[in-house]
Structure 1
């Protein structure tokens, strides 16, 4: 079984603008290494993914804490790079309207 960090408070947490994974600033994201360009400290509604292998829909997710909404947008250069790689970006910011 993998060691999982338990959140003690919400200070110093950042959520990824692409995948919504919540981590400490120094831990980075399990999916990418662009912590400062692709994260925000402003987010809403925390949910936990404990056993993704037991799910029919999210079995490719990593165990951890995710948010439903994260405030902010990815930089345009990052969006272009994702598009070039065939990765569809859908903003998880429910505050900003496109």
Structure 2
């Protein structure tokens, strides 16, 4: 369904870019979590076209630490680790 590259830069100090490739049109959900499982942010896209996509995430006022990025479609889920350094 999709391939998800490692976020770049990582570690990052304010913003990081998420790069993924969809093999067909799909609804996409991107969620950001603390290691405690608290959802910090979410991005939802409906009927996203096949092909390459880039999304930028701003960690905002969150403290430095390790975060999880979860990208999900109807048939696939992938998780990547992010390191935020203020």
**TM-score when scaled to structure 2?**
0.25
Name the TM-score, length of structure 1 as normaliser: 0.23
Q: RCO (CA 8 Å, sep 6+): is it higher in 1 or 2?
A: 2
Name which one, 1 or 2, has greater alpha-carbon Rg. 1
Q: Which has more helix, going by share of residues?
A: 1
